[in-house]
Structure 1
Amino acid sequence: MYKKSLLTTALAIMLVACAQQTAQTPATVNLRILETSDLHANIMDYNYYTGNDDPTIGLARTASLIEAARQSAINAVLVDNGDLLQGSPMGDYMAHTGLQPGQVHPVYKAMNLLDYTVGNIGNHEFNYGLDFLHQSLAGARFPYINANVYCAAATCWDGIKQGQHLFTPYIIKPTPVTDTNGESHTLNIGYIGFVPPQILQWDQQNLRGKVRADSILETAKRLVPEMKAKGADIIIAIPHSGIGSTQNPGDPMAENAVYAITQVPGVNAVLFGHSHSIFPSQRYSALPNVDVNKGLMNGVPAVMPGRWGDNMGQVDFTLSLQDGKWKVLNASAKAVPIYDGIHKKPLVTAETRIHQAVAAEDTGTKAFMERPIGAASADMYSFLAQVQDDPTVQMVANAQIARVKAQLPKSLQSLPVLSASAPFKAGGRHSTTSDADQYIQVPKGVLSYKNAADLYLYPNTMVAVKVTGAELKDWLECSANQFNQIDPQSPKPQQLINDGHPTYNFDIIDGISYRIDVTQPSKFGRDCQLINPEASRIVDLSYQDAAGKRYSGDAFAHQQFIVATNNYRAFGGKFSGTGSSHVVMELPDSNREALVAYITEKSHFNSATGSYDATVDPAADYNWDFKDIKTAVPLDIRFESQNSPKADAFIRLQQHRPMTKLAVNDLGFAEYRIDLTATH
């Protein structure tokens, strides 16, 4: 009896001890956050410009990654970072045809199949106007957030009043999760979204007087504590914004503010986009407080999944419930690709249900892109657009000058009309393996709307600015940051192209003549910030009027000009001579519409012969070039272009300076040596 009593007592003590230990053991939850960003209406794995399937892009393929990532996780949620409605022919087709009441935009037909938790608004969502945006969002079966855009009119959509958020600023979503022991919990996940305040400049025609856009950083500092106070266990920031400055992350109106957001207390992860790059990756390994192996920025997991569906973002958390509060024990982030660019093979197949969901719009887009608009007398390829005057940029310049001249008011008709245009598709940004395929490829002969869309990628609108010659020089000095400084005394290989300078910021100004001295340092950085005040790369700058009089030096500096450009550049204010105070004319026409009209005007279809007996001439006028480098040292200056028989033939025939193909790099680019010496 005594022994039985002792055994019973011991057993009871053990059970109490076990119970106490169990009660003290915190629950552990593994949580996965998945992200798409910058899809730009690329739902299909198809290239509408070439008419071929494309395994390097498309939500149809990203969807397979999403499904696989969900199957390998106990708890997973999916978010989108924005820039959905514009950027591909399907996006243009839908904006052209419009949405009927109750009609669902194809991007949402596809996304509604994937069970998104929340979406954020990107800057390109505003490109087609607020009405189209409102109609489109109505088809999404998931909520949208944005915290830094406000109603500026007396009343906006859905009864929103002046000063109120135009969108729901954030949500705190109670999310059922299962811990590692199989027990159920509810995790309150907070989501907050942002967009660059520069939307007011980029889409001024659509947004002026209608909305207000505040600082990303200041809004985050104000609302993240509010979300914590309202019960958010963890907070996921979804800024449509790039990394931004690591030296001055406190700029309140920065376009790119992710580095700063990772320093806001309470933010547990940042799933970002906008820059079309991939983070984490080795190209960012030198940034301070960045761990590209774990995908951490200032200790916070962060991911940016490229563009057009070529990658999926993934953040993995290990959370622990301690004293009633969830604590992050570990976190990591990575971008997962759909295509192996090194070995040139797809990593996933497309989901048939996505194809089926947008089959009608896919057919409509293909027909939309095949409409004939005229004919060209020569090929327009952008394989050399970064190193010499180029037919693809020349064609746009000719069209912009023609349209502005035709519309210019009498008070300004005495001023010379120039054009500023950039090579939008000239090898991407050297960040993903599919960049080597991103070149304009429009062959001579009959041209269709898809060719015009290839030549001018964005739905910008025509704007003209009035500038002085001195301002033009600094405009070009900023563009010249496209090139690295070349050491004329070094025989070692030197890369000519500065990969940190986006090609869309490499403006060519047509109608004047100039050369670029790449042996000099750059005066400005990629965003036109002054870095070397005394530097001067632009030389031999001049303008010749219709009477043959040439202006250079002080005469050029004091001469006034009209520059035809787009709304993004004109209102951006970064380049010298741009900003609202310089704008003298805004046209309702898109730059692409002006291009189509120019091609049609210069072409003539002969109905009797069924062919064109007049065609548009895209030949470059070579108004710019590099300054010859005088040196006794054999220089090895290099640049990259596409590796293909078409590119080989074009470069061989069109090279303005001697060029030699050397090798093919890991990203699939062909590397060339270019002769910039005076002996060529």
Structure 2
Amino acid sequence: MNSQKTAFVTLLFTSDIHGHVYPTDYRGPGERNLGLAKLSTLIRKERLSDPSLLLLDNGDLIQGTPFMYHYAKYGGKGTHPAARALNHLRYDAAVVGNHEFDYGLDLLRRTVRDSAFPWLSANIVNGEDGKPAFGKPYLIRETDEGIRIAVLGLTTHYIPNWEHPDNIRGLAFEDALESARRWIAHIREAERPDAVVVCYHGGFERDLATGEPAEPLTGENQGYAMCLQLEGIDVLLTGHQHRLLAGELNGVTIAQPGSAGQAIAKVRLEFGRNAGAGWSLRGKSAELLAVDGTVEADPEMLALFADDERNTQQWLDQPIGAAEGDMSIPDSFKARLADHAFTEFVNRVQMEATGADISCTAIFTDEARGFGERITMRDIVSNYIYPNTLKVLRLTGRDIKAALEKSACYFMLQGEGRHIRICPAYLAPKPQHYNYDMWEGIEYELDISKPEGERVVKLLRGGVPLEPDQPYEVVMNSYRAGGGGNFDMFRGKPVVREIPTDMTEIMADYILARKTIRATCDHNWKVVY
């Protein structure tokens, strides 16, 4: 009989890898401190001290880099790269994230079939029978010492508010908090685990220190409520928000390892043997292991994907056209303060593709640099990083004004000099530059010196004020058209037209057809303060 009195279980946990295998961001040369190839080095090191550790991924794995886009859109053959990578690293389980649906159910299900581990999501169920759509809702892992660890997978149920209906057809998304409550009770009773770990592709809706709402309480993120309301949960591993977190909330050990493979979370569970039989959880800790300049990429991982990476890089460097005039974005903040040639270009492409007279778009990240004189596919996917399609909504003038007021909340004035700044809500818990839209087809001004809700001081079309009740056709990306970013004024509005083609393809085809595009800027809008 094993008389050992103390035992430890190690959990390693990744989340929001977003397709980063190689240590690159694909925007330019040079190695970055990110990606699964570098995480592999940390995982190997941890396995030396604990060969039986539990390795988990928390979703948003198969989308987010040109590497994954190229595979999905250009007929990638063989085992999906995401499954190949996690198989090689011997992952024990993965959770379905919201971006797993971006390329459609067929590709997601093929990825699941290619995986040598289960994909968990207890609250994504089949619409017909209510059973978990991806097979297993949870995983039970028993150590050599007889310690039983339960891992429950959950996904933010807010997905139908963003995703194209075709990509989630036949699925139902149960409330993650209530699903967790039901499944944890079942697991505790039926499986008798020594510890329950919840892997939730969602984040924290409230400030962890004060409990104050950190965002509109839509149900997109329920991590705070899970820690306070659920009985029988020992560890909550989170994601979706791209935050770097490790600690404890209401006795629940929590962790979130950022995004793109910049870190991996390590949770250590200590168990003591009971006087009679079995084990009791005696201690818990969480930390983040960061990928920095001292971490070398694993040569085996690099070799495993060398052909895929080479093909991707060659595709990215294909010249597709040229720009005449300045379409570069040297300062993304300034480009959001007044009409800019690059955003005008994107809006005009959207208008031409759909026939709509009004359009809105965003500069998605601060890393977007617009176009130089020579345009390649790398330029397209570096600026337009999401696989959005286009929708034309029928909106009233009142809806448009409300959307502009929502976007105006992106800015604030600070200090005695009343300097204009980005509102902190758009910077934490993660940057949300993609939730500030810039419009074409209307003339408007936003005055940030005025209170929120009163900042639209000019709103015209063709020099004439927009009528509050008059209908207008407006094109936007599919995420925004579903109300993404808390643009509630768009939810449920009539969809006039829909273009199912990925916007990056639309932009590339537009440039290929013209060979040379010309920078234009009609200065139809500006921010004042």
Q: If the length of structure 1 is used for normalisation, what is the TM-score?
A: 0.71
Q: Distance in 1 between matches of 2:522 and 2:504?
A: 21
Q: Is the 8 A contact 2:351 2:359 kept in 1?
A: yes
Question: In structure 2, what is the equivalent of residue 627 of structure 1?
Answer: 528
Matching residue within 471, 475, 483 for 1:572: 483
Q: Is the 8 A contact 1:85 1:124 kept in 2?
A: yes
Matching residue within 90, 94, 98 for 1:115: 90
Matching residue within 446, 453, 471 for 1:560: 471
Question: In structure 2, what is the equivalent of residue 460 of structure 1?
Answer: 388
Q: Is the 8 A contact 2:146 2:278 kept in 1?
A: no
Q: Is the 8 A contact 2:483 2:489 kept in 1?
A: no
Q: Give CA deviations for 1:371-415 in whole Å, capped at 9, x if unaligned.
A: 33221122422623344433432222111111111xx6xxxxxxx
- 1:352: Cα distance to partner? 0.4
Matching residue within 18, 26, 30 for 1:48: 26
| Residues 292-307 of structure 1 aligned to structure 2 (within 5 Å) | 295-307=247-259
Q: Distance in 2 between matches of 1:117 and 1:262?
A: 24
Question: In structure 2, what is the equivalent of residue 271 of structure 1?
Answer: 237
| Residues 136-535 of structure 1 aligned to structure 2 (within 5 Å) | 136-152=111-127, 162-177=129-144, 185-207=145-167, 209-230=169-190, 231-245=192-206, 246-247=211-212, 254-263=219-228, 264-280=230-246, 295-322=247-274, 323-339=276-292, 346-377=293-324, 378-381=326-329, 383-384=331-332, 385-405=335-355, 417-426=357-366, 439-486=367-414, 490-491=416-417, 496-501=421-426, 502-522=432-452, 535=453
Question: In structure 1, what is the equivalent of residue 7 of structure 2?
Answer: 29
Q: Give CA deviations for 1:173-226 in whole Å, capped at 9, x if unaligned.
A: 23225xxxxxxx111111111222222232233245411111111100111110
- 1:460: Cα distance to partner? 1.0
Q: Give CA deviations for 1:558-590 in whole Å, capped at 9, x if unaligned.
A: 332211111111123631431233322222112
Q: Distance in 2 between matches of 1:583 and 1:382?
A: 36
Q: Distance in 2 between matches of 1:486 and 1:551?
A: 34
The reply to whether residue 76 of structure 1 matches residue 53 of structure 2 is: yes
Root-mean-square deviation (CA), in Å? 2.4
Larger-gyration structure (1/2):
1
Q: Distance in 2 between matches of 1:456 and 1:238?
A: 30
Amino acid in structure 2 at the alignment position of 1:38? D
Aligned residues: 512
- 1:121: Cα distance to partner? 0.5
Amino acid in structure 2 at the alignment position of 1:444? G
- 1:165: Cα distance to partner? 1.4
- Secondary structure of the structure 2 residue equivalent to 1:46: coil
Q: Is the 8 A contact 1:216 1:252 kept in 2?
A: no
Question: In structure 2, what is the equivalent of residue 589 of structure 1?
Answer: 501
Question: In structure 2, what is the equivalent of residue 436 of structure 1?
Answer: none
Q: Distance in 2 between matches of 1:511 and 1:382?
A: 25
- 1:616: Cα distance to partner? 1.1
Given the superposition, is the C-alpha separation of residues 257 and 374 from structure 1 closer, same or farther in structure 2, using an over 3 Å criterion?
Answer: same
Q: Give CA deviations for 1:216-263 in whole Å, capped at 9, x if unaligned.
A: 1110011111011122221111111121134579x9961111112222
Given the superposition, is the C-alpha separation of residues 327 and 480 from structure 1 closer, same or farther in structure 2, using an over 3 Å criterion?
Answer: farther
Amino acid in structure 1 at the alignment position of 2:464? Y
Q: Is the 8 A contact 1:215 1:252 kept in 2?
A: no
The reply to whether residue 67 of structure 1 matches residue 44 of structure 2 is: yes
Q: Is the 8 A contact 1:215 1:253 kept in 2?
A: no
Amino acid in structure 2 at the alignment position of 1:353? E
Q: Distance in 2 between matches of 1:486 and 1:520?
A: 13
- 1:98: Cα distance to partner? 2.9
- Secondary structure of the structure 2 residue equivalent to 1:500: helix
Q: Give CA deviations for 1:527-559 in whole Å, capped at 9, x if unaligned.
A: xxxxxxxx4122112221xxxxx222xx43233
Question: In structure 1, what is the equivalent of residue 429 of structure 2?
Answer: none
Given the superposition, is the C-alpha separation of residues 74 and 141 from structure 1 closer, same or farther in structure 2, using an over 3 Å criterion?
Answer: closer
Q: Distance in 2 between matches of 1:147 and 1:41?
A: 24
Return 5+ residue gaps in structure 1 as ranges: 1-21, 154-161, 178-184, 281-294, 340-345, 409-416, 427-438, 523-534, 545-549, 605-614, 629-680
Q: Give CA deviations for 1:85-143 in whole Å, capped at 9, x if unaligned.
A: 1110011111113344xx21122222212121111011111111111111122221111
- Secondary structure of the structure 2 residue equivalent to 1:580: coil
Q: Distance in 1 between matches of 2:456 and 2:217?
A: 33
Q: Distance in 1 between matches of 2:363 and 2:169?
A: 32
Given the superposition, is the C-alpha separation of residues 208 and 585 from structure 1 closer, same or farther in structure 2, using an over 3 Å criterion?
Answer: farther
Q: Distance in 2 between matches of 1:79 and 1:99?
A: 25
Q: Distance in 2 between matches of 1:507 and 1:477?
A: 10
Q: Is the 8 A contact 1:38 1:83 kept in 2?
A: yes
- 1:65: Cα distance to partner? 1.8
Q: If the length of structure 2 is used for normalisation, what is the TM-score?
A: 0.90
Amino acid in structure 2 at the alignment position of 1:306? G
- Secondary structure of the structure 1 residue equivalent to 2:44: helix
Given the superposition, is the C-alpha separation of residues 471 and 443 from structure 1 closer, same or farther in structure 2, using an over 3 Å criterion?
Answer: closer
Give percent identity, aligned residues only.
27
- Secondary structure of the structure 2 residue equivalent to 1:320: strand
- 1:148: Cα distance to partner? 0.8
- 1:347: Cα distance to partner? 2.8
Given the superposition, is the C-alpha separation of residues 382 and 321 from structure 1 closer, same or farther in structure 2, using an over 3 Å criterion?
Answer: farther
Question: In structure 2, what is the equivalent of residue 537 of structure 1?
Answer: 455
Given the superposition, is the C-alpha separation of residues 494 and 297 from structure 1 closer, same or farther in structure 2, using an over 3 Å criterion?
Answer: farther
Q: Distance in 1 between matches of 2:457 and 2:279?
A: 61
- Secondary structure of the structure 2 residue equivalent to 1:353: helix
- Secondary structure of the structure 2 residue equivalent to 1:49: coil
Given the superposition, is the C-alpha separation of residues 350 and 475 from structure 1 closer, same or farther in structure 2, using an over 3 Å criterion?
Answer: same
- 1:471: Cα distance to partner? 1.1
Given the superposition, is the C-alpha separation of residues 224 and 248 from structure 1 closer, same or farther in structure 2, using an over 3 Å criterion?
Answer: farther
Further displaced range: 70-79 or 120-129? 70-79
Q: Is the 8 A contact 2:123 2:154 kept in 1?
A: yes
Return 5+ residue gaps in structure 2 as ranges: 427-431
- The structure showing larger relative contact order (alpha-carbon pairs under 8 Å, at least 6 residues apart) is 2
- Secondary structure of the structure 2 residue equivalent to 1:224: helix
- 1:494: Cα distance to partner? 5.2
Question: In structure 2, what is the equivalent of residue 8 of structure 1?
Answer: none
Q: Is the 8 A contact 1:542 1:556 kept in 2?
A: no
Q: Give CA deviations for 1:576-628 in whole Å, capped at 9, x if unaligned.
A: 43123332222211222221222233x33xxxxxxxxxx21244433322224
Amino acid in structure 2 at the alignment position of 1:542? L
